[in-house]
Every structure is written in structure tokens, then in C-alpha cells.
Chains A and B, each alone.
Chain A
Amino acid sequence: MNAMVEGFGALLSLEMLVCVLAGAAIGMLVGAFPGVTATMAVALASAFTLTMDPLPGLAVLLTILIGAQFGDRVPAILINTPGTPASIATTFDGYSLAKQGKAGIALTASAFASAIGGFVGIAVLMVAAIPLSTVAMQFGSPEMFALVIFGLTMMIEVSGKQLVKGLIAGLFGLALGTIGRDPMDGSDRFTFGIPQLVEGVPFIAVIIGLFGIAEVFSQMLSKRHASQKPITNFGRWWPDKREARQMVKPVAVGSGVGTVVGVLPAVGGDIGGIVAWNQAKRLSKEPEKFGKGSIEGLTAADSSSNAGVGGSVLTTLALGVPGDSVMAVMLGSMIIWGIQPGPGLFSNQPDLVYSIAGIMFFATVLTLGLSLLRMRGVAKLLELPNRFLWTVILTFCVVGTYAVNSSVFDVGVMLGFGVLGLLLRRYGFPAGPIVLGLILGPLAERNFRRSMELGGLESIYTSPIAMGLLLLGVAAVVLPRVRARMKARRQRPEDSDTPTDPPVPAGASR
């Protein structure tokens, strides 16, 4: 009880209020602009939050993520383009509703469903975080090594259909993680006499380069344009009683599915939304309306992708295994603040769970309020010329990266990785595995070599927890593929559950 009081008490300050307000505003805007992803925004924001205390900094980053999860519904509903991949399933029914003159109802229903899903995810985080951490506290080096390997299997999920390329990218990320001090004897390794590399590659610069700069460069290179004109007729804003009743079951289904999916590493809100949409369709009395403007489909998808945030934060903080790219970025910031996510975090600082849950709760309430404001202005904002958007993003990337260490070297690294990120995109290499490798690499190497020092390979294969985690990693890779193959065999192509693929911001991760 004390931890809860202390955790929530730490949030009662003007500074925290300002941070949550700023994060919510930035997040909503980020989500509303297709092409500006939550990962990119959190990466950029992490550069200038590093000078802040950990809790206010976390408040900004978490609120941006939650704000983006609300804001991305707006373009999904109004221009049939998901602001971030988490709102892919929103387009299935959201745009159809908008075309029927029900954009107002769609936006309101989506906001409430997202908020309820978010609250469910937060509740799960509060209940499960400390017990999960306590179990993980029993982990020694062999178990930690197995846990990190389990986390690294998500590279395969992040890679999508480009499996070999994703694995190569991941191994390069792990290789980048070897630059700096040797984890065992502290000697310099691969630094080439450059003092800035002794502490390792500046990963905030790498992340901003790969996600921020590369995205801007990619948009410039191909001059992508939105194919749809925004909806301007919003119609009625509040659902009537019948429509409100219709939302109850899909929101319950979506929240449940989203929470479970969110806890799994590497499964983001996009997948959660689609799975929940399919489940709600199966359980609906009017499945034929799904994909043609069903409020049930819309609310199931949105509640699910937001419920997933709580689960994803739980996995990242309690186990130290980032759930996806945006969580990897957040994990990087926390390490710089001196907070080491992993088994010891919540056991040593139980109040932090409640502080984080409190931040997420306030952020959800605030962004719900912002979402309910009439959004005619947002349709205008979506028409902001690219020349302004690109310039602002690049300038903030440059100054933000410099701000981390007041280092021009870091800006050079960022620019280099921006160009590299652009080349990777053009040749179909996903950037996510590089970040995962860079962050988890040193942890994997340290625990592997410690295990070897302690008792050789035997220390790993005689540990039931380590072997269990390794088998779980294998199962996480193999089972979905076996199931997908079996399903593909059973199902004819015309039996597709989801509507035609909607446009997705290329290379975006959340």
C-alpha cells in the first residue's frame, strides 16, 4: 500500500502535469500525421528528455506513445490512412463510417474504446508487474542470457517477410553493441582511438538516424502523397443508446485480446487490432457489416491496440525485454537515466510501477479528453505541406541529438545512420532488429560470458528456467509459422478475413 501511495504521490507536481500535457499534445499530433511514427517521436523526444529527471522524462515519453495511439485514429477514419500501424484495423470500418457521414460518431466511439482498452492494460500492468519481477529476480547469468535470447527472437517477428535480411540487420546491431568496453575485462574494443566510442555507439543518435532521419529522407526520395482527401462532413458526434450498447461486447473482446497480445514480445498494436477485429467479427450478430462501417469492428480494433500498451510496458520493464521498437527506444532512455529495466527494477522500486501506471492513467484520461474535442481543425492540419514538416523534423533531430551529450560527433553518427537507414529501407532491410541488437547485445554477451566463467555451457542447459526460456523462444518462432502454414492450407484465398490491405506508412513500426 505504501508503494502505491508513494508511486502516485510522486506524480503530484506541476512539472509532471506540464510533462503529461506536453506529451499528450505531441503524441496526438504525431499520431495524426501519417509518416510520423510514435517510434520516431519517442526517439526524438528521448534526446531532449535525457536532461530531465527520470520520472518527468518517462511521463513525456509514455504520454507521447499513448497520445499517438489516440491520434493515429484520426487519419485512419478521415483519410483511410493509419497514422501509425497500430490503427491499421481502424481503417477497416472507420473510413467506411466516415464516408457514410458518421465520422463524428466513429471518432467518439474510437476514443472511448481506446480509453477503455488502455485502462484494462494499465490494470494488468499494476496487478502483474511485481509478481512477474519477483519471479524473474531468481534469475542468474544463465537465465538472463536465455531471457535475452528469448527477447532477441523477436527480431524474427520484427523482420516480417524479410527474414534473412532482418536477421542480418539484427546481427549487425549485435555487432554494433560490441563497440566500446569489453564487458568482462573493461579493455577498449573496436574504438579505433575515438574517445566518443569508448562508452559504446551513441544509441540515441543511432535510433534517431534510423527512425527519424531515414523516414524523412525516404519520403523526400519518393515524394509519397496521401491518396485520399480528408472527410469534412462529420455528422453526429455522440452515439445513441443502441450504438453505445453495440460497443460493449466488442470493447470487452478487444481489451482482452489486446492485453494478452501486448504481453507477448514483438507483437504490436497493429496485430492486436487485427486479431481483435477478427474475434469480434466471429462473435458478432452482424458479421456481414464488418469492413463496411461496423461500430463493433471499429471499437474492437481500437480497444485492443490500446490495451496492448500496458502489456508491452509490463514485458519491457519487468523482464527488460523490449516489446517492440518503440519500447526498445524507451528502454534505451531509461538505461541512460540509470534505471535498468529487468527483474530487479520493480522488486527494488515497487513504487515505480504505480508511478508508471499513474502516468499512463492520466495520459489516457487527458488524451481521451483531447480526442473528444471536435476535430475539424485536424483535417486542415493533415494538409500541412511536406516542406515544413520535413524541415521541422530534421532540425529537431539535429538539435535533439546534439543535446544528449552536447556532441557534434553524435550528430554525425545520426546523419550517417540516417543515410544507412534510407539504404536499408530501399533494399528491404528492417531497421528494428538493429536497434534490438544494439540494446540487447551487450546484455547477451555479458551474461553469456559470465555463464561460461561460472560453469560453462552446463550452467545453461542444467538450468530449468534457462532451458524453459530457450524452448519458449523456439516455440515463439516455430509455432506461429506452423499454424500459419496449416491455416493457409485449410483456407482458400477468397476466404480472407480482413478487407483489402489498407495503405500503411512504409517502414513504420508503431
Chain B
Amino acid sequence: MATVHPPIQGDSGAASRWREAAPGAICLVLGAVLLWLARSIELPTRVMAVSPRIWPEALAFGIMGLSVLQIVLAFVRTPEADDDEDEGPVVRSGIVRVVGFVVATVAFGFLWYFVHFLVSGLVFVAALTWIAGGRGLKDLVLFPAGVTVVIYVLFGLLLRVPL
């Protein structure tokens, strides 16, 4: 089922190599952090057959080894077409929407402390719908009101979650 992508030439090929290598480098750093954390685990006073550090240390070495392999492969292997081909190209409005959703969710977390869920939830759902492109009374009032009530009935009243 795999699609065979043609090799990419020129500048885009070089960019693709760096794009493949970058996550490997980040993982290498994270692996090193895990190794440092593993080595800071306090050893128990009683004698054990194996150190409690052995498992996280082994994982850290595994991550670092594979990260190096990922970096090497990024420069050695013929680069394939961008994964964007599967995921679809990123659009500017999409980034705005994602950031908007994250910010709205964080803001909802704060608002919820001060205002009842039926109000904060309504504002939250309306904000999400607006960010996603909804406009007008139906999208920004009726739909959010319906969703908020359904969630409140399902979670708050039926499942007794303290909303």
C-alpha cells in the first residue's frame, strides 16, 4: 500500500534532509536529559540484584542510539517527498486556528474557576466555533448553547462529574 515517492533534487532535497535530521537531534538531547535524570535516581540502601537506574538508563541509551541513526539516515538515504503529502500542506489560517484553539482552551481553564460551566462552556464553544470559521446567530449562539447543555446534562447531571 505504500506510495513510492520520487527522489527530491536540489535545495528542497537539502531542506528535506535537515527536516528529517532536526527531530533526531531533538530526540538525542531528550535522550541525554533522560540519561542524566536516570543517573540522579537515588540508590536504595538495601542491596538489589539490579540498580533501579538500569531500565531508564537502557531506554536513554536506546533513544540516543536511534536518534543518531535517524540523523545519519537523514543524510545518507535518498530523501522522500514531504510527509505533508499525507497530512496535506500547512495553510496559514490553519496555524492561526490551531493556536486559537490552544489559547481558547487555556483561557477556558481560567474562566472556569470563576464562572459556572454553563456560562464558561458556552463562551468556550462559541469561541471555538468562531475560530473554526463559524459566523452568525446559529453558529455562535444556538450551536454553542446546544453543545453546552448536552455536555452539562451528560457529564454534570448523568455522570455526576463536578463541572
Contacts and interface: CB of A to CB of B under 8 A. Distances in A.
Interface in B103-143: 105-106, 108-109, 112, 121, 124-125, 128-129, 132-134, 139, 143
B102 A419 contact: yes
A398 B23 contact: no
Contact of B147 (A185, A391, A400): A391
Main secondary structure of the interface of A (DSSP, over half): helix
Nearest to B96: A220
A398 B86 CA distance: 27
Interface in A454-508: 456, 498, 501, 506-507
Interface stretch (A285-293, A356-364, A403-411): A403-411
A507 B59 CA distance: 25
Contact of A172 (B50, B63, B139): B63
B162 A175 contact: no
Main secondary structure of the interface of B (DSSP, over half): helix
A445 B49 CA distance: 14
A123 interface: no
Nearest to B93: A223
A349 interface: no
B49 A453 contact: yes
A88 interface: yes
A171 B65 CA distance: 11
B37 to A, nearest CB: 6
Contact of A394 (B54, B95, B101, B112): B101
B1 A217 contact: no
Interface residues of B, number: 68
A395 B133 contact: no
A402 interface: yes
B155 A428 contact: no
A178 B87 contact: no
B159 A175 contact: no
A395 B83 contact: no
A373 interface: no
Interface string A162-173: 001101100110
A411 B84 CA distance: 28
Contact of A175 (B3, B41, B63, B87): B63
B99 to A, nearest CB: 10
Contacts, number: 175
A223 B128 contact: no
B49 A452 contact: yes
A221 B108 CA distance: 22
A449 B50 contact: yes
Contacts of A160: 2
Q: Which of B70, B143, B161 gathers most chain A CB within 10 Å?
A: B161
Q: Which of B59, B63, B84, B129 gathers most chain A CB within 10 Å?
A: B59
Contacts of B49: 449, 452-453, 456
A453 B97 CA distance: 53
> How many A residues are at the interface, by size bracket?
35 or more
B7 interface: no
A184 B52 contact: yes
B159 A224 contact: no
Contacts of A175: 34, 56, 59-60, 63
A425 B151 contact: no
Contact of B52 (A164, A185, A391): A185
Q: Which of A391, A403, A426 gathers most chain B CB within 10 Å?
A: A391
Interface in A426-455: 426-429, 445, 448-449, 452-453
B6 interface: no
A396 interface: yes
A415 interface: yes
B30 A395 contact: no
Given A171-B63, A220-B132, A189 B41 contact: yes
B45 to A, nearest CB: 10
Contacts of A187: 42, 44, 52
A274 interface: yes
A223 B59 contact: no
A174 to B, nearest CB: 5
A161 B2 contact: yes
B73 A164 contact: yes
Contact of B98 (A167, A184, A396, A422): A422
Interface in A42-63: 48, 51-52
A449 B51 CA distance: 9
B128 A395 contact: yes
Given A185-B44, A398-B108, A456-B49, A223 B91 contact: yes
Contact of B151 (A165, A395, A411, A498): A395
Given A178-B59, A220-B101, A387-B134, A399 B50 contact: no
Contacts of A274: 1
Contact of A190 (B19, B37, B70, B139): B37
Contacts of B132: 220, 386-388, 390-391
A425 B87 contact: yes
A507 B84 CA distance: 12
Nearest to B70: A164
B128 A390 contact: yes
Contact of B105 (A167, A184, A406, A415): A415
A369 to B, nearest CB: 25
Interface string B67-98: 10110010000000001101111110111011
Interface of B: 1-3, 19, 22-23, 27, 30, 34, 37, 41-42, 44, 48-50, 52, 54-56, 59-60, 62-63, 66-67, 69-70, 73, 83-84, 86-91, 93-95, 97-98, 101-102, 105-106, 108-109, 112, 121, 124-125, 128-129, 132-134, 139, 143, 147, 151, 154-155, 159-163
Given A51-B160, A164-B73, A222-B87, 14 more contacts: A168-B27, A171-B66, A190-B37, A218-B87, A220-B97, A223-B88, A386-B132, A390-B132, A395-B124, A408-B109, A415-B106, A426-B83, A449-B52, A452-B49
Top 7 nearest A-B pairs (CB, nearest first) are A222-B88, A387-B132, A221-B94, A391-B128, A403-B161, A452-B50, A220-B97
14 contacts: A48-B159, A168-B63, A172-B30, A184-B52, A187-B42, A386-B133, A390-B132, A391-B129, A395-B121, A398-B105, A398-B124, A399-B161, A399-B163, A412-B109
